[in-house]
Structure 1
Amino acid sequence: MLTLSQANYLSFFNWVLITSAKASIFIIFLLGVKFVLRHKIRAGFQYVLWSVLIIGLVLPWTPNSPISVYNYLDFFHLQQKVASIIDRTIPSSSANLADQQSALELAAVGDGNSQKADVSAETLGPSEEKSNTWISFPFVYRLMSYIWLSGVLILTILTVIVNKRFSKNIGHALVTDQGLLSEFNKLKVDLKIKTEIPLLKSRQVNSPSLLGLSRPRLLLPIGIEERFSLEQLNHIFLHELIHFKRKDVWINCLTQLLIICHWFNPLIWYAFYRMREDQEISCDALATARIDAEHCSDYAYTLLKLAETYSAAPRLAGMASLCGSNSQIKKRLIMIKSREDHRSSAKWSLLGVVAIGVLALTSFASPQVMANPPLYEKEPEQAIGLPKEFSDISSGVIVEDISGENFKGKVMLIKDPTRIKLAVTKDIGVMGERVSELVKARGAIAGINAGGFYDPNGKGNGAFPDGLTVQNGKLVDNNVGEDEVNIVGFDDQGKLVLGKMRANQLEARHIREAVSFAPNLIVGGKSVILEDDGWGIAPRTGIGQRADGTVIFVVIDGRQPTWSIGATLSDLTKVFEDYHAVNAVNLDGGSSSEMVFQGKVQNKLPNVFGERYVSTAFVVTP
């Protein structure tokens, strides 16, 4: 069974992949903007632009936006592949579904004539072999998660070892030259820096470098005072103290952590490499702004002499160094020579702010799939599923928020069960449709995903409904022949029908709308889920019915660590019990779990690409 810690880990891994994909799109956009405006905006502002990337990688949640790129780009194939990989609740065929239910043999309880629901004599639950989510979770995806974690651990260990070894070997040879100390302390006063920053000589550095977070030290190569004049050393001190004042060492440590987390993404490595270049260039810009114009050439000569004398310092997480690559030094010299005009660049900086803001919303924001808030909220102290008395509002539908220890979700109540219809993709065997499209196609006002689907051609596009599919009293799809499968549907009286049937039994039972899925959760007012039996924690969808005929749609979010981990079958059953369901059944879940009302998706989808393509949906007609 998938434990909570395993679910948390896989949810976090999924978030890392999604965030990395979003960041890649933003980096491409950002590099484009920087290229177009490279001669228009100041060096310091170009460095600040990278903070948007850092924020986007750190934020655990991003808002929905109508200008999100995911609203307009159809990542159909990638969406379906990702959803198919990470889903753990979809059986591969109705035969497997029947196997998964063979563990439970329970008789229906209660008289069908006395209740607005009808249940077949037998319901079944999952088998251990097919339903153990940790074992049945696709091997490739699990392997990817292991490789990612291994990479994170290896890079973390190497980073710690390298930094500790370097810190241990730098020595404690303090600079005693009073001329150097006087110039250094004078600059500290000018920059209003009160922190004690020792000047150390070390054979471990090939370039002047600022090292340390809590105990900063300025490291100088042995003999630097013999090669550089006091004025040139003053330029070096100014550059490094500006690094300290701007907290660049802290920023470098944060970016190193992000690189470790996203080590598999070369675009992120390259982006932070470019950020370090912009960090040095902007630091030069601030330094030259404090120097008289006639001395800027001396500052540039200092950089050139450093490049000729010393090699670039190692890129340690807790270090900011003055030297860089030859190409970086060249860019810095060009910047110093140009001495950008602040007045002429102000309007371009404003344009850059607007452009990056739009790009951030376009790249990092989630698609605009969230719906209006629930029609009414539960009181904070109200337990899950203890609903207020149903009031027949204009739409005849009520949507409520629910939450549990590890999950959040939505419940929809529909008083008239005869309004429930089945929507089926118009291109069975070719292409599935989004739930919102299925709702719209039937002229409905609401809906949830319904039955499972299988993928014989590896396209994962929701084209093939699994089991028996009945629409308007007609069998529209059958991939199990005369085999017996668990039916979830409604008869012509609006009674919820659950249980094993064959295709030739559907007409005799007056089945009007139906799909195949399992397991059943509540039969005749009694729970038949005694244990979760390996179904694990995941996004869930379910349907149930009260004794008075009210239909209950339940959708529970999952795979979102900062929002909702997901629910077990016991959790889902408990929700239906709290809403007084006499019959309830589990429907297709995972990335398919979705609730639509009045044209908007009500729940938070775990998929960055938005709605998944499915075969069927239970919808609420006007």
Structure 2
Amino acid sequence: MEKFLFHLFEISLTMSIIILLFAAFNVFFAKKYAAKWRYIIWIILLVALLIPFRPDFDFSLTNTLHPLEETNAEERNLTLTENISNETSEQVALPVNKTPKETGFMNTTTLLLFIWLGGVALFLVYMLWMHIRFLRMVKRWRYKIKDQTILAILQEEKERMGAGHKKIALYGCKLEISPMLIYQSKPTILLPHKEISQEELSYIFRHELIHYRRKDIWIRYLMLFINAIYWFNPVIYFMAKSLQNECEESCDEKIVRGLDTLSRKEYGETIIGIIGREKITKTRLSTNFYGGKKTMKKRLSTIMDTSKKKVGIALVASVLTVSAIAISGSIWINGNDSRAEAAADLTSAQAKKIALKEAGGGKVVKYQLDTEKR
């Protein structure tokens, strides 16, 4: 239990540093490499938060002392029982780790575990309640779109995306929403209750179908789960917002790839025109055509950017991110484990040497470490 909490907080700290470093990197280089790469790196960071163990490169910032020095510095208790040639047996007392004394009804570790579990439960219950509430509102105010022209545009875009055989429901909704892809009983595209031109519909359907093909909704579910695990860490909330923005931006980037300046402008105007108000009804478990003024400004900049992106910078960012994740375990987590193991091995060797000296020679055939609780 104690080890689990230790690893949880260590991963949270280490990954927070890596996330902030990547965000700082993007401040200077985001415009130089494609949004799809930034989105991929955010997904790598997301998956890394789920992996409790890292490769151990025998390097740790916390392992600054030699195991012998650490062993001598700590209070330990050991009973070594040995059989030395011809029924000779000696016992020598040497130090080992002692078990921390537990006081009161609940120790600190147990209390922290209950606080963490309580936070996870409250976060998930609240988010699921908000999502269910949203679905109920949608169910009340939605209406099935039967216009054959609109349905034909959707089918055409499905064919374009290689999803012509997929069953995707299409509804309008009288709530103040932006176009979105959401899962109810099946994948569903929701459109706001307003006049939308055929050209705008093409862009909207293409946008949402890209989300569908890339399984972006499932990334949202995974991000929500990670957010619940690390509910105490504000950096993870920042990551969730950044991941969502990069998801939408990479989708825009894919749509406008190969389009001329005029077509890019038309797509940007579609995004602006489809949003009636800033305050819209939404849920975290859906795609979101609108993400706030600052986000929209950044997306429009990406849409109109026709400059050639540098693959080299994307690869550098990817390699640096994966390398940082890989060595993070050696810096914090595995360093402590290897240090403890090394200390234990050294103590056993010392114990055997001292036992032989006390017994006046012989051979150690058996020894036992006996931990005493204090």
TM-score normalised to structure 2 length: 0.80
Give the corresponding residue for 1:117: 89
Which of 1 and 2 has greater Rg?
1
Contact 1:208 1:236 in 2 (8 A): yes
1:208-607 equivalences in 2 (<5 Å)? 208-212=179-183, 215-221=186-192, 223-224=193-194, 226=195, 228-289=196-257, 291-309=259-277, 311-316=279-284, 318-342=285-309, 345-364=310-329, 447-448=346-347, 490-491=354-355, 493-495=357-359, 549-550=363-364, 581=366, 583-587=367-371
In the alignment, is residue 177 of structure 1 matched against residue 147 of structure 2? yes
How far the C-alpha of 1:93 sits from its partner, in A, is: 8.1
Give the corresponding residue for 1:199: 170
Contact 2:99 2:372 in 1 (8 A): no
In the alignment, is residue 32 of structure 1 matched against residue 24 of structure 2? yes
Can you list the C-alpha shifts for 1:340-373, whole angstroms capped at 9, x where unaligned?
Answer: 314xx12322332333233332335567979xxx
Following the alignment from structure 1 to structure 2, what is the Cα–Cα distance between the partners of residues 356 and 306? 37
> Larger relative contact order (C-alpha < 8 A, sep ≥ 6)?
2
The residue matched to 2:357 in structure 1 has which SS? coil
How far the C-alpha of 1:262 sits from its partner, in A, is: 0.5
Following the alignment from structure 1 to structure 2, what is the Cα–Cα distance between the partners of residues 110 and 287? 75
Can you list the C-alpha shifts for 1:65-111, whole angstroms capped at 9, x where unaligned?
Answer: 36xxx63x34879xxxxxxxxxxxxxx989xx8xxx9xxxxxxx999
The residue matched to 2:307 in structure 1 has which SS? coil
Contact 1:232 1:299 in 2 (8 A): yes
In the alignment, is residue 13 of structure 1 matched against residue 15 of structure 2? no
Following the alignment from structure 2 to structure 1, what is the Cα–Cα distance between the partners of residues 127 and 244? 18
Distance 1:114 1:267, change over 3 A: same
In the alignment, is residue 187 of structure 1 matched against residue 157 of structure 2? yes
Following the alignment from structure 1 to structure 2, what is the Cα–Cα distance between the partners of residues 365 and 490? 33
Following the alignment from structure 2 to structure 1, what is the Cα–Cα distance between the partners of residues 184 and 222? 11
Contact 1:288 1:336 in 2 (8 A): yes
Q: Aligned AA for 2:291?
A: G
The residue matched to 1:210 in structure 2 has which SS? strand
- What are the ranges of 5 or more consecutive residues in structure 1 without an aligned counterpart? 1-6, 78-91, 102-108, 121-129, 371-408, 411-432, 440-445, 451-470, 472-486, 496-509, 511-546, 551-579, 590-622
Count of residues paired in the alignment: 357
Q: Aligned AA for 2:161?
A: L
> Between Structure 1 and Structure 2, which shows a larger proportion of helix residues?
2
TM-score normalised to structure 1 length: 0.50
How far the C-alpha of 1:587 sits from its partner, in A, is: 4.8
The worse-fitting range, judged by mean Cα deviation, of 26-35 and 137-146 is 137-146
Can you list the C-alpha shifts for 1:200-252, whole angstroms capped at 9, x where unaligned?
Answer: 1223452111111762111122x22x2x3221122111111111111110000
The worse-fitting range, judged by mean Cα deviation, of 174-183 and 111-120 is 111-120
Following the alignment from structure 2 to structure 1, what is the Cα–Cα distance between the partners of residues 187 and 324? 36
Distance 1:213 1:206, change over 3 A: closer
How far the C-alpha of 1:265 sits from its partner, in A, is: 0.6
Distance 1:132 1:191, change over 3 A: same
Give the corresponding residue for 1:154: 122
> Quick one: percent identity of the two aligned structures?
22
Distance 1:143 1:369, change over 3 A: closer
How far the C-alpha of 1:588 sits from its partner, in A, is: 8.1
> Between Structure 1 and Structure 2, which shows a larger proportion of strand residues?
1
